[in-house]
Amino acid sequence: MPLCTLREVLDHARAGGYGVGAFNVTDAEQVEAVLEAARRTGSPVIVQTISGASAFASDELYWDLLLRTVDHYDDVPVVVHLDHGPDAQTCFRAIDAGFSSVMIDGSLDPVTHQPTTFDANIEVTREVVAYARRHGVSVEGELGTIGGSKDGATHAEIVLADPEEAAEFVARTDVDALAVAIGTSHGAYKFTSPPDSSVLHMDLIEEIARLIPTTHLVMHGSSSLPADLREIINAHGGGLPESWGVPEVEKARSTQLGVTKINQGMDSHMAYAAAMRTTMAGDPLAADPAPAARAGSAAMADMIAERMAVFGQAGRARDYAPRVFRSPAALPL
Ligand SMILES: [Zn+2]
């Protein structure tokens, strides 16, 4: 099966009334974990990565490995998506490498990490959409500011998305999907208590979805930060502070309000790290890191398979007809 575009996968999700998890990867074993979980549960899936997030010397080297791994899963409908492209050039590089979807995060200045103007966001997003359209690639934009840390750089306070601005943004950019800030934040530290409606503005999703019914809404920073994983990590040398994320029930509810793409980075990384730390601690003579990575990948696949059931994408690979080519560049425009 060829790569799917984000538009195709999320259109299926909206028609079927479910959400699709977008899982962040930073090494080869994590790519395998996401794809194994998708194959096991019969799910369409979005594999996403942030520029510079891997340990490889260049994005191109890591991206090539990622795309070649995806080729081994030609029974799985897969979107390969650039998460939080900081500028147009990074998005162009991902499209040239063979990604089928990119996010341009024009809400923050790539250098200062401060919010940009509405018009500056629109300008850079339009530039990316124009290039992406020529290559049959989907585009996600961002409006408002989702707080916390996404790539190690901590940036601005949360600025909630404005529904009227969302409608204008979509009309002027023609993005396929829009990340809307509704109170979630990135990273391993989110809320100091279980979030309620004063923190998590689910009503905003409904309001925005009503104004832009053909654009897909994306929930960022939606990890739930499982306490049991935090305890395992901390019992093996970690020091994660107590924190609450987005409860599973809220994620499932968001898919009924208009969200079709649910970003999850931290939860699956916590599952991976907890299993790695446990495995390494269990064999003080181990020097080869592969057994720990293998355990990490298996734990991450299990966690993602569970989430696929919660989001509703499990079993929905049946929505897709088999195809004969893989490269998004070969897709008709
Ligand atoms: Zn994000």
Task: Quick: pLDDT tens for 215-248.
Answer: 999 999 888 899 999 999 999 999 999 888 888 8
The arithmetic mean of pLDDT across residues 321-328, rounded, is: 57
| Centroid of ligand 1 to alpha carbon of 177 (angstroms) | 13
| Centroid of ligand 1 to alpha carbon of 186 (angstroms) | 6
Torsion of CA 267, 273, 274, 276, to 10 degrees: 150
Task: Note whether residue 1 is domain-resident.
Answer: no
Task: Provide the number of structural domains found in the chain.
Answer: 1
Q: Which of 219, 208, 225, 238 minimizes the C-alpha distance to 311? A: 219
Better-scored residue on pLDDT, 207 or 323 = 207
Task: Note whether residue 248 is domain-resident.
Answer: yes
Domain range enclosing 101? 6-330
Give catalytic status of residue 64 as yes or no. no
Task: Note whether residue 270 is domain-resident.
Answer: yes
Rounded CA separation 316/330 (Å): 24
Rounded CA separation 214/292 (Å): 44
Better-scored residue on pLDDT, 112 or 331 = 112
Candidate list 59, 83, 162, 267, residue with the active-site label: 83
| Centroid of ligand 1 to alpha carbon of 291 (angstroms) | 30
| Centroid of ligand 1 to alpha carbon of 314 (angstroms) | 23
User: Can you give the pTM of this predicted structure?
Assistant: 0.92
* Phi/psi of residue 80, nearest 5 degrees: -105, 115
Mean pLDDT taken over the chain? 90
Rounded CA separation 232/254 (Å): 29
| Centroid of ligand 1 to alpha carbon of 21 (angstroms) | 13
DSSP code string of 76-117: S-EEEEEEEE-SHHHHHHHHHHT-SEEEE-TTB-TTT--B--
Rounded CA separation 227/244 (Å): 8
Rounded CA separation 187/15 (Å): 31
Task: Note whether residue 226 is domain-resident.
Answer: yes
Task: Note whether residue 131 is domain-resident.
Answer: yes
CATH code for the domain in which residue 96 is found: 3.20.20.70
Angle, alpha carbons 8-302-290 (nearest 5°):
105
pLDDT confidence tier of residue 180, bands split at 50, 70 and 90: confident
pLDDT confidence tier of residue 189, bands split at 50, 70 and 90: low
